[in-house]
Structure 1
Amino acid sequence: MTDQAALSRKDRRVRIAKAAKVYGIKGQESLDLHEAYNALARGEVMRAVQLAHPITQSHPASPHAWIVMGGAALAQREGRTAKAFFAEAQAMRPKDPLVLGGLAKAHVLDAEVEEAVTLIPRAFAAGSEDAGLARLYLELMAQLGRRILAADLMEAHVLRLKDAGVCLKLADMLVDADEPNRAAKFYEQAYNLDPKPEAHQIGRLRGLVTQCRFAEAEPLALDLLGRVKDRDAVMGMHLLMLRVMGRSDEAENLAAGFDFASPEGFAHARGVMANIHQDRGDDAAADAAFLEAIHVTGAGGNMAKAYGVFLLRKGDYAAAAPHYAERFPAQQRALIPLENAAPDNLASLGRVLLMGEQGIGDQLALLELLRLAPLAPDAQVTLIADARFGPLLAGNTLGIAHHDRKNFLSNPQKLAPNQLVYLGDLTRYLDGAEPAARQGAYLVPDAARSDALRRKYSEMAHGAPVVGVAWKSTSLIGHLRSVPLARLAQALPQGALVVNLQYGDVAAEIKAAQEARPDLRFVTDAEVDQMTDLAGFAAQIAALDFVASIDNTTAHMCGALGHAGAHLLIPEGADCMWYWGGGGSSDPWYGAATLHRQEKASDWDAPLAALAEALAR
């Protein structure tokens, strides 16, 4: 601010009038308050206190002086004092973003993390523009193992802030939480806001690879390899991309000749090679590559999870258990220990809270494990998961209740620490159990809604079969599971009514399939939104004669409903999810669907021919 003594009398009156409107205080004190804020912003803490403290006495009902005093206490790392000052301001302005943000920071200084993470989203909902506060929140939520909740609450605010560092932080968090698709737009945003930092350029590459935009990603990867310091990260993504594009020999040669700078970079490359070995049908080589990767880093995380999943698919449940258990970082695992899923603990509980993990389809699959768990006969079991599960689980035969995950994690809960169990930790009960013990439908679709849909589709079909189809995944992990709709359509019965079960805008793909099979009639039912209405989606699937789907949420919904007319296209190699085992056409997980497997990775000829034959019968 211009030195007040140098102002003319007229300028001074103008400044005072403006400050009075902003702060609600007349006279010189309004200018003092304005200068106090500026001094605090410059880091002149004592100057800010000298100006603001008298105003707390002369105008105790004004929140501004208390806010300045609170900010000064934060600068001095005096948490308790800051809380007292911000509490005075909050009494007058309970929804002020500066007050809420300052109070949250004060709680952090006093190691009151739960109070802090409750206040920070409220500060941003009230309009906070504090990028540092957003970064603090993301770091705290990562330490608490609540990455998905943090993203849910902050996604829109991070985009609004337009801060490249915060965008990059949220993107990395989402990758750690196995949500690479959601991360992609934040990597892109970080790069667009500030394209110079190496981390932003590598993040852009990661986003492009995740979205399968290989034509853009490959030249960028080659460019970055020639000029960045973190070449390991770039090479890792390049290898992933080559494998998915079907250039496995090239990936193998590149990995063998590259000089990795870190154990983590080398381990990641061995993980890619483990997947390539699986694609080739060489499980022994895949096993060795996984073990080498884990040995090199001496850590669990994603590599241990990948090896655990590999062993689960082979049916080696005992060997898989210790590796699969390491899928969470130690800090997150400490919050919900593996021991909570132990038989003696489960059998002693009258209330069990199952923490959902992974995607919708995975949770539908893992809920089957409740049939194997040694629960007390009268135990109340509640799934903590996405709000969409609530209507879907209505009337389920497993007796599972539901609690919205966002609500559960955002509000204090009264529970014993041993009542929380990760859903995936129930895989320990697969060892020694007969498949029939876990198999069977448990979802109960809305009968009235399903009957209405069945009548509607039947009238449209005019006696032809009604076939629901889902054919693609937009993620990198699902790219090799996807089949072009025009190709899938060739396997469908003559004259069938084809109900679109695919999410997103797929009008162009339906048009191409219609041109390839003019005898079919394609329908996209606006009455059902697969993304927002899982209960409606279940009713829709139950109304169909047949379903032809890749391995995605549709496949697991069919299994949980026990749909006998479900036909699933299953990839060979590393992209075959462990629920489907290693061979055969019978559904080893739900006991309901018919599986049509690739004979060779990436080759859909055999499974599509088998699907056509089965539907023709």
Structure 2
Amino acid sequence: MQPLERELEGLERAVSDNLADAMARVAAGVANLRLRRWGRAAAHLRVAVAAQPDFAQAWSNLAFAQLELQQLDAARAAADRAIALDARLADAWNLRGLVLERGGHLDGARADYEKALGLNPDFANAHVNLANIEQARGRVDAARAGYERACALDASLAEAHYNLGHLHHKTGRVEDSLPHYRRAIAARQDYAQAHHNLAHALLLLGRFDEAWPESAWRQTRLAFADARALAGRPYSLPAFSPDRRTLTIVGEQGLGDVVFFLRFAPRLRELGWRLRFTGSSRLAPMLRRTELFDEVLSENTDVETNEILAGDLPLLAQGSHAPPPLALTPDPAMVEAMRARLAAAGPPPYIALAWRAGTPQLGPLETLFKELPPAALGAALHGLDATFIAVQRDPRAEDVAAIAAAMGRPVHDFSSTNIDLEEALALMAIVDFSVGVSNTLVHLRAGLGREGDVLVPFPPEWRWMEAGDSPWFPGFSVYRQDRARHWDGALAQLAAALSRKVSSARTGSSRPNSSP
């Protein structure tokens, strides 16, 4: 039992001796807060404020517990009550700021954080929270200064180090982010997001061996492990033995991620494992054609053999190199159907376009959202003598219109191929060029041994490395947004490269091999 848990055990006994003792309830509530047991903390603190309604600090602590329970209205009311009882309580102002920030009211949150710091200039948590507002407003230098001030005031404050590390990470100072992620983890060993972002930073730098253990803290893995533990089947990396050599790979991530990580599966076959796969049925036909798996099962199939998540394959595959993509082959009948659709759209060469992927996300979390300005992409492609097809998932009509207007050419809608991955694989096998942001179709294209032109936002996704070409996508050309988040240079480079490629394709001097 940890010291804090032993302390809490004593506090719980004290509460049981006097159920209405407000001070004992607050102490038990605070101990539960420190253990991140939000529900139990809130229960103790509600009793405390019922027993002593004028206890300002108890109301403030209750606001914290309710905030973590996503009870924003109740948390706001508790923080307001604390401030009404004691307007000099910096903690209450800080907590009300957190409630306002969580609700998207950044200006109100800023005012409350500033009030908290006016009352207590050495309040490290309030410095962190105000710095978060500065970062959200794009004031990077002010945010950095706030995080650094918080670290100086409280070197053990995990959130201060995490946020400073993330700010370095997202502004391109990846190496500088590492010590701060590590200090955050030292302060709170179970800080999953710090582990996760540390993994991404190390992967960007090509330090794969260090990165993979940290990637085990990703949310999909933690959720899977929790579910297995509840079912009485704790999840851990399997150990090879001659009598238990069947290994079921569970596709727990998005389709593109699963395809990406399956590149490590051939190595497991070399090590003696017999492989099965369970995951999305949309991947099943192409995975069966690899002849790598003894069985390809539908997702949610209950298995009794050794299990490993697709994202954990690098941990079992033994090796620090970047293996080539899993080799994929399209269905021949689907290829012919796609050829007919392309011919109906226009003459070759064919250029597939995708300009958006992922989900936008604000705040100090690593996000894989990627987006190109449609009109700027179209302008870069203006003058190319080719047939353009949109393979963007769920394209907005106004985006397609902007690209077409800027190019002066129509954009043919092939977005439905995102639904049927067999269609997508066949299409990626035969289009001459693939242009856009990284998405599932890029993973399919790589598995086919084809090349592509990928535009990488700043800061880059870890698969595309901090600079240069990516070892994960052989033959792909990478065009990077600059640190000021401008696309002009990258799109100019893309335009020049595509002009040469299309010219060569049309003259036949180096026409890409469009055969699957």
Settle same-fold status: TM greater than 0.5: yes
CA contact (8 A) 1:389 1:402 kept: no
Shift of 1:386: 2.8
| 1:251 to 2:143 alignment | yes
Task: Say which of 325, 345, 368 aligns to 1:460.
Answer: 345
Looking at structure 2, the residues matched to 301 and 236 of structure 1 have their Cα atoms a distance apart, in angstroms, of 19
User: For 1:339, what is the secondary structure of its paired residue?
Assistant: coil
1:304-315 → structure 2 map (5 Å cutoff) = 304-315=195-206
User: What amino acid maps onto 1:571 in structure 2?
Assistant: P
Is the alpha carbon distance of 1:337 and 1:507 closer, same or farther for their aligned partners in structure 2, counting shifts above 3 Å?
same
1:290-439 → structure 2 map (5 Å cutoff) = 290-327=181-218, 328-329=221-222, 331=226, 335=233, 337-340=235-238, 342=239, 344-345=240-241, 349-373=244-268, 377=272, 379-382=274-277, 384-399=278-293, 401-405=295-299, 407-408=300-301, 413=302, 415-416=304-305, 419-428=306-315, 432-435=319-322, 438-439=323-324
1:489-504 → structure 2 map (5 Å cutoff) = 489-492=378-381, 494-504=384-394
Looking at structure 2, the residues matched to 239 and 501 of structure 1 have their Cα atoms a distance apart, in angstroms, of 40
Looking at structure 1, the residues matched to 112 and 280 of structure 2 have their Cα atoms a distance apart, in angstroms, of 38
User: For 2:329, what is the secondary structure of its paired residue?
Assistant: coil
The corresponding residue for 2:453 is 567
Shift of 1:616: 0.9
1:118-137 → structure 2 map (5 Å cutoff) = none
CA contact (8 A) 1:449 1:539 kept: yes
Is the alpha carbon distance of 1:295 and 1:395 closer, same or farther for their aligned partners in structure 2, counting shifts above 3 Å?
same
User: For 1:439, what is the secondary structure of its paired residue?
Assistant: coil
Looking at structure 2, the residues matched to 580 and 464 of structure 1 have their Cα atoms a distance apart, in angstroms, of 27
Q: Which runs of 5+ in 1 are unaligned?
A: 1-138, 140-171, 174-186, 209-215
Shift of 1:200: 13
Shift of 1:544: 1.8
Is the alpha carbon distance of 1:238 and 1:592 closer, same or farther for their aligned partners in structure 2, counting shifts above 3 Å?
farther
Deviation >6 Å, runs of 4+: 190-204, 231-238, 259-264
CA contact (8 A) 1:349 1:379 kept: no
Shift of 1:367: 0.7
The corresponding residue for 2:400 is 510
Question: Under a length normalisation based on structure 1, what TM-score does the superposition of the two structures give?
Answer: 0.56
Looking at structure 2, the residues matched to 458 and 471 of structure 1 have their Cα atoms a distance apart, in angstroms, of 26
Looking at structure 2, the residues matched to 336 and 592 of structure 1 have their Cα atoms a distance apart, in angstroms, of 41
Is the alpha carbon distance of 1:403 and 1:270 closer, same or farther for their aligned partners in structure 2, counting shifts above 3 Å?
farther
The corresponding residue for 2:22 is none
The corresponding residue for 2:163 is 272
Give the number of the structure whose alpha-carbon radius of gyration is greater: 1
Per-residue CA deviation, residues 84-120 of structure 1 (Å, 9 max, x unaligned), is xxxxxxxxxxxxxxxxxxxxxxxxxxxxxxxxxxxxx
Is the alpha carbon distance of 1:430 and 1:546 closer, same or farther for their aligned partners in structure 2, counting shifts above 3 Å?
same
CA contact (8 A) 2:213 2:315 kept: no
The corresponding residue for 1:11 is none
| 1:444 to 2:329 alignment | yes
Shift of 1:485: 1.4
User: For 2:471, what is the secondary structure of its paired residue?
Assistant: coil
- What percentage of residue pairs aligned between the two structures are identical? 21
| 1:483 to 2:377 alignment | no
Q: Which runs of 5+ in 2 are unaligned?
A: 1-38, 40-67, 80-94, 117-122, 501-516
User: What amino acid maps onto 1:486 in structure 2?
Assistant: A
User: What amino acid maps onto 2:401 in structure 1?
Assistant: K
Question: Under a length normalisation based on structure 2, what TM-score does the superposition of the two structures give?
Answer: 0.65
Is the alpha carbon distance of 1:430 and 1:313 closer, same or farther for their aligned partners in structure 2, counting shifts above 3 Å?
farther
Per-residue CA deviation, residues 305-361 of structure 1 (Å, 9 max, x unaligned), is 221232233222332243233444474686554431x4x35x654421112233222
CA contact (8 A) 1:469 1:499 kept: no
Looking at structure 2, the residues matched to 250 and 378 of structure 1 have their Cα atoms a distance apart, in angstroms, of 53
Shift of 1:276: 2.4
Looking at structure 1, the residues matched to 197 and 176 of structure 2 have their Cα atoms a distance apart, in angstroms, of 15
Looking at structure 2, the residues matched to 191 and 603 of structure 1 have their Cα atoms a distance apart, in angstroms, of 37
**Number of equivalences:** 404
1:71-220 → structure 2 map (5 Å cutoff) = 218-219=106-107
Shift of 1:592: 4.1
1:237-248 → structure 2 map (5 Å cutoff) = 243=135, 246-248=138-140
Is the alpha carbon distance of 1:307 and 1:378 closer, same or farther for their aligned partners in structure 2, counting shifts above 3 Å?
closer
User: For 1:600, what is the secondary structure of its paired residue?
Assistant: coil
Normalized per residue, the structure richer in helix is 1
Task: Say which of 581, 584, 604 aligns to 2:465.
Answer: 581
User: For 2:237, what is the secondary structure of its paired residue?
Assistant: helix
Q: Which moved more, 1:298-307 or 1:470-479?
A: 470-479
| RMSD of aligned alpha carbons | 4.2
1:59-78 → structure 2 map (5 Å cutoff) = none
Looking at structure 1, the residues matched to 141 and 163 of structure 2 have their Cα atoms a distance apart, in angstroms, of 12
The corresponding residue for 2:434 is 547
Looking at structure 2, the residues matched to 559 and 549 of structure 1 have their Cα atoms a distance apart, in angstroms, of 14
CA contact (8 A) 2:200 2:462 kept: yes
